[in-house]
Structure formats: structure tokens, C-alpha cells
Amino acid sequence: MSGHPHLQAARRTVWNDHGGHDNWRIKARDARSDMNETKKNVPEATAVHHDLLGGLVRLHVLHHASEHEIYGQWMIEELATHGYRLSAGTLYPMLHKMERDGYLTSRRERDGRTVRKFYKITDKGREGLAVAKRQLREFRDEAE
């Protein structure tokens, strides 16, 4: 089975634990319902202050890219669980800029007719993430 390791694991889990393709459709529909429920609970304030929160979104990207390869749609869904509503038109230019600036590298992978671009953190990205974590701790301590 080709594709991203996390997708492969999810496909195996769905197939092995839920007995086949028909049940996978039910599981996918349930996951979309859960995601829609999460979006309903997102405070509108995050949308209003998106310029201010952009740095936090980039830090989320770097954090996840330091743990495993990421791709855009997965990142959009992950960010939604944290209260961020980003469109592809917002996230993809951000990922491209982070790559141009040297924080991420990417590779393309074809799975049938789909070509997906996977991103991972660079040494510069790890350094930037470490600096940002220190600064966030200092801010948290001051703000408490």
C-alpha cells in the first residue's frame, strides 16, 4: 500500500477493525460529523484576529512537521481541532513561504491520480521552533 505512513495506518486500522469498505464510509461520515461539531464550538474571535494568530499557526505547523511529515489538508483539519479555521488558500501560501524561508522542506508523492506534497521541518525550523517555545514560556510566565 502506497501513501503517507499515517494514512496507511489509518487505512489498515479501518479495514482491520471495522470489517471492510462499507463500514469505512460510515466511519468517514462520523469523522466528518465530529469535525463539523468541533467547528461549531470554535470561538469566532479566532477568525477576527487571524493576523495576530498567524504566528501561532506557523508554530503549530513547525511542531507537527517536527514530529512527522505533514500535508496541507491534514494540517487544516489538525488546526481546526485547535480552533483555527484556515482555508487552503490561506494555508498553502503559508507553507510555501515557510519552505522558501528555509523552515520546511517538501517532497511530492503520487498515489494514483493524486499528487500530495509532504513537508518536514529543517534544522532552521527546529531552531526557530525552540526559540519560539522559550519566548512563549516567558510570555506565559509574565501573563499569569
**For 29-50, how does the pLDDT look when each residue is reduced to its tens digit (9 = 90+)?**
444 444 444 444 445 656 677 6
CATH numbers and ranges of domains, the chain: 1-41 (no CATH), 47-143 (1.10.10.10)
User: Residue 110 pairs with which residues in a beta bridge?
Assistant: 115
pLDDT at 8: 45
Q: How far apart are CA 4 and CA 10, in angstroms?
A: 10
What distance, in Å, lies between the first and last C-alpha atoms of the chain? 49
pTM of the predicted model, to two decimals?
Answer: 0.67
Question: pLDDT tens digit string along 90-132?
Answer: 999 999 999 999 999 999 999 899 899 999 999 999 999 999 9
